Amino acid sequence: MSVNEEYSEGGVCLALWKFLTVFLVFAALLFETKPVYTLAYTFMVLFFFSRRLQQSCADQLKVVRNASTTHLFPDDQATIEIRLENPSWLPFAWVSGVDGKPTALDGGKRDKWVTALPPRGMATASYQITAANRGVYVLGPLDISVGDFFGITTQSYRVEDYQTVVVYPTVCTLTDLALPSRLPFGHARAQQKIYPDPSRLGGVRPYEPGDPLRSIHWKATARERNLQVKQFEHTVTITTMILLNLDERDYDVHSFYVDTELAITTAASLAAHIIGLGEECGLASNGVFTRHAVDELDDSYRHDGVLRISPRKGYSHLMSIFTALAGVECQSSHGFSELIDDLGRHYSFGSLFLLVVPVDTGAIVDKALNLTKLGYQVQIFVVGTKVIHRHLLQQPAHASLQMFQVKQDTKLNFVQPR
């Protein structure tokens, strides 16, 4: 533990101890009696040597956090715990502390805590924080003060110990974003019916020689009094990639913060919806990580300066996407068109690209059309108020290129993924 001492000897109690000590010394010289000498010596020892003793014992004080990282969703509360250990034989009448807190957490209000610490004992101090805005924040350093039972002196220290707080983006239902609740994600009907999907029952038909016994539909057989077998739909699994445009040059300066946060919320909500269906989903963006997020996120998230998370299934993978979105921010050096071109060369035929953009520019629509010609499916989600190609909003559900306008409800229904 790195500690920088900031010694303080001000205050009313210290001034009172000085006065009493000087007064008793003069009284001892004046009266020359044993009780007065005893009091004078006692006060002199306490005043001059207790500070040294307390300083020596305070240097041994151990102050550590119970956790290095805390993960929260917006509006969640968490308890920050700090463990104090006193390995010395001297008790501390009180130990107080103040934790450095960024303004994005509770407005930067600094909560002070106080606790007593017995000799060779341990105590835990705690306080509450509330997550307000998406981001990656750092708590610390800790300003610690310790005092004795006589109020003679106070030792103050700064402990360079930090804790990271990751606040995930807001996750909403699709209907809260003015999106259809049933978007064509995950599976599509195969063009060539070679491999049936046993998880998707398409109907029943009479048994024919050669049909496997495991495909017999026993309930239908009992109802028809004739052997019936299951018929399955023939589907292929679609790889879904969310492409998030965080080029600040493409956003309207008058609604920059609202639109960028809505874009990140849309990407997080789409990922939660797709992975919640048991499907694979990945994320790519031309955004950059904040300074604190760079230390927390895995290097595998960054490829040539681009955020890229490969498609996978499962809750842990969804949390990886949320963590990346918590620490990402806009930049002005990498265009979105280059990201589309790069991703279009790395995925198989039939993959689904979800483009989250502030405006459907002609260049983005042209890139999307080129992807459809290569056999990909593309859906464009416009988070800004301006829609240029409005005719694409009326595309049928089976079209290879579709477009949706995202509208933020003032009373969003927050969904915490399970």
pLDDT value for 348 = 72
The tens digit of pLDDT for each residue in 57-105 reads 888 899 999 998 999 999 899 999 999 999 998 888 889 999 988 887 8
Q: Are 72 and 128 in contact (CB under 8 A)?
A: no
Assigned token pair, 206: 């009479």
pLDDT value for 4 = 39
CA 231 – CA 212 distance, rounded (Å): 12
- Helix, strand, coil percent content, the chain, rounded in steps of 5: 30, 30, 35
Beta bridge partners of residue 65, listed in sequence order: 82
Percent of all residues in the chain with a pLDDT value above 70, rounded to a whole number: 75
What is the 3-class SS of 321-380, one letter each residue?
HHHHHHCEECECCCCHHHHHHHHCCCCCCCCEEEEEECCCCHHHHHHHHHHHHCCCEEEE
212-216, 238-242, 261-265, 350-354, range with greatest mean pLDDT: 261-265
Q: Considering all CA atoms of the chain, what is the largest pairwise distance in Å, rounded to the nearest integer?
A: 123
For 168-218, where are the E strands, in sequence order? Answer: 187-189, 201-206
Q: Are 146 and 6 in contact (CB under 8 A)?
A: no
Confidence of residue 155 (pLDDT cuts 50, 70, 90): confident
CA distances from 312 to 147, 270, 320 (A): 55, 14, 10
Confidence of residue 199 (pLDDT cuts 50, 70, 90): low
Neighbours of 255 (CB within 10 A): 14
Lowest mean pLDDT among 159-168, 189-198, 357-366, 407-416: 189-198
Confidence of residue 26 (pLDDT cuts 50, 70, 90): low
CA 272 – CA 373 distance, rounded (Å): 28
Percent of all residues in the chain with a pLDDT value above 90, rounded to a whole number: 43
Cis preceding-peptide flag for 87 (omega within 30 of 0)? no
Confidence of residue 189 (pLDDT cuts 50, 70, 90): very low
Fold observed for domain 1-167: Immunoglobulin-like (2.60.40)
Q: Which listed CATH number (1.10.287, 3.20.20, 3.40.50, 3.90.1690) goes with 175-189+237-405?
A: 3.40.50
**Angle at the Cα of 112 from the Cα atoms of 107 and 113, rounded to 5 degrees:** 140
**Quick check: 258 pLDDT over 90?**
yes
The residue count for the chain: 418
Lowest mean pLDDT among 94-98, 229-233, 360-364: 229-233
Q: What is the mean pLDDT of residues 269-284?
A: 92
Q: What is the mean pLDDT of residues 27-38?
A: 67
Give, as one character, the DSSP assignment of residue 201: E
pLDDT value for 78 = 93
Pairing of strands 122-130, 228-232: unpaired
Give one DSSP letter per residue of 260-329, joined into a string: HHHHHHHHHHHHHHHHHTT--EEEEES-EE-HHHHHHS-GGGEETTEEEEEEE-SHHHHHHHHHHHHTEE
Q: Are 268 and 383 in contact (CB under 8 A)?
A: no
pLDDT value for 135 = 92
Would you give the end-to-end CA distance of the chain in angstroms?
38
Q: Of 65, 138, 61, 67, nearest to 94 (Cα)?
A: 61
Confidence of residue 360 (pLDDT cuts 50, 70, 90): very high
Beta bridge partners of residue 203, listed in sequence order: 231
CA 266 – CA 260 distance, rounded (Å): 10
CA-CA-CA-CA torsion sign (225, 226, 227, 231)? negative
Q: Residues of CATH 3.40.50 domain(s) within the chain?
A: 175-189+237-405
CA 363 – CA 261 distance, rounded (Å): 23
Cα 324 vs. chain centroid, distance in angstroms? 8
Give one DSSP letter per residue of 53-75, joined into a string: HHHHHHTT-EEEES-SEEEE-TT
Q: What is the mean pLDDT of residues 124-136?
A: 91
Q: Residues of CATH 2.60.40.10 domain(s) within the chain?
A: 1-167
Lowest mean pLDDT among 106-120, 284-298, 394-408: 284-298
